[in-house]
Amino acid sequence: MKLIIQIPCFNEAQTLSVALSALPRAVPGFASVEWLIIDDGSQDDTVEVARAHGVDHIVRHSGNKGLAKAFMTGLEASLRLGADVIVNTDADNQYNADDIPALTLPIIQHQAEIVVGARPIGVIEHFSPVKKMLQKLGSWVVRIASNTDIPDAPSGFRAISRAAAQRLMVFNDYTYTLETIIQAGQKNMSIVSVPIRVNEDLRPSRLVKSIPSYIKRSIVTIIRIFMIYRPFSFFATIGAVLFSAGLLIGLRFVWHYLHGNGDGYVQSLILASIMLGMGFQTLLVAFLADLMAANRKLLEDIRFKTANLPQNQDPAVVKNDSELTFVTVDKKTRDNL
């Protein structure tokens, strides 16, 4: 079996060497362990640092596409390079690489398809109280939306089986962590969590540029999660609230009208009409959104089946949307493909 450890990078020259120095070259259960770097349009010496530390494969974006895009590019490249299991970790050495065997063990033992490393968030000193609260809130939302029991959903330290990686598709441009867990739950993939350790903070988080920005992005991400993966419940709830409010206001007008005071409550009648109309239209949107979600699932199934068809394509070239992304493969690795 082949394990590929992938690291999305954007201007990580200062910390990447530390992260790479800690990565293993041998993991129990795997005949080979290879390293893959996704250079997301870095403008520093990230690629040079990766090559100097013996990275096997480098995928390069022509510009900065974001963490979620880099993650998906890494999965696609790893699959084409023949990975049986893919481990994703960060370039800032946040996660303890010594826990990779524990992360991959449930997959080797056929107990899970995806394994998420659970950090001891409560005792991490460089996490602010607001960030800890939002981490817990995000994990709770994911558990509700996915029917899974993952205590640290925002964790990027995770192991993914080949079959699971082929079925994942991230729509969010900001981060992949929450969405992939929800997809796993909806696709009935077996997903578990294992406790992991963390290292000292080497640099501020790239995703948390400021607390207000992090709160805003987190709220938007959570709303999008429900809109994409629970569309009927999301829109039907809004529609029911609007329709019920309009109905109550309308009944209030009828009560006053029957008691001879209708002329003074015409505004209530207008407001009730507007809210009833908005509620009814939102309920219709709920049904349409549910149909679109069903179509999306069918398209995902078609994508998965198409991806498993035999392909006569050089694994050193990965087509990524409208651009070509090149994977540099050393001669020894290419001969073994």
Which pLDDT does position 322 carry in this prediction?
A: 38
Q: Cβ(80)–Cβ(318) under 8 Å?
A: yes
Length of the chain: 337
Which pLDDT does position 126 carry in this prediction?
A: 60
Are 193 and 239 in the same domain? no
Secondary structure, 3-state, the chain: CEEEEEEEECCCHHHHHHHHHHCCCCCCCCCEEEEEEEECCCCCCHHHHHHHCCCCEEEECCCCCCHHHHHHHHHHHHHHCCCCEEEECCCCCCECHHHHHHHHHHHHCCCCCEEEEECCHHHCCCCCHHHHHHHHHHHHHHHHHHCCCCCCCCCCCEEEEHHHHHHCCCCCCCCCHHHHHHHHHHCCCCEEEEECCECCCCCCCCCCCCHHHHHHHHHHHHHHHHHHHCHHHHHHHHHHHHHHHHHHHHHHHHHHHHCCCHHHHHHHHHHHHHHHHHHHHHHHHHHHHHHHHHHHHHHHHHHHHHHCCCCCCCCCEEEECCEEEEEEECHHHHHHC
C-alpha span between 218 and 205 (Å, rounded): 14
Are 239 and 216 in the same domain? no
Quickly state the pLDDT bin for 48 (edges 50, 70, 90): very high
Q: Which domain holds residue 297?
A: 232-301
**Final residue in a domain of this structure, among 196, 229, 262:** 229
> Taking residues 228-232, what's their average pLDDT?
82
Are 192 and 257 in the same domain? no
Which pLDDT does position 104 carry in this prediction?
A: 96
Are 46 and 73 in the same domain? yes
pTM score, whole prediction: 0.74
Residue 313 counted as domain residue? no
Which pLDDT does position 74 carry in this prediction?
A: 94
Are 110 and 193 in the same domain? yes
pLDDT beyond 70 at 207: no
Quickly state the pLDDT bin for 209 (edges 50, 70, 90): low
Are 155 and 180 in the same domain? yes
Which pLDDT does position 324 carry in this prediction?
A: 40
Are 204 and 263 in the same domain? no
pLDDT beyond 50 at 272: yes
Residue 333 counted as domain residue? no
Number of structural domains, the chain? 2
Segment 152-184, tens digit of pLDDT: 888 899 999 999 998 888 877 767 888 888 888
> Taking residues 107-131, what's their average pLDDT?
82
pLDDT beyond 70 at 307: no
Are 40 and 57 in the same domain? yes
Secondary structure, 3-state, 98-160: HHHHHHHHHHHCCCCCEEEEECCHHHCCCCCHHHHHHHHHHHHHHHHHHCCCCCCCCCCCEEE
Compare 188 and 190 and report the one with higher pLDDT: 190
Are 221 and 250 in the same domain? no
Residue 315 counted as domain residue? no
Are 92 and 236 in the same domain? no
Among residues of the chain, what percentage have pLDDT more than 70? Answer: 83
Are 265 and 191 in the same domain? no
Are 164 and 122 in the same domain? yes
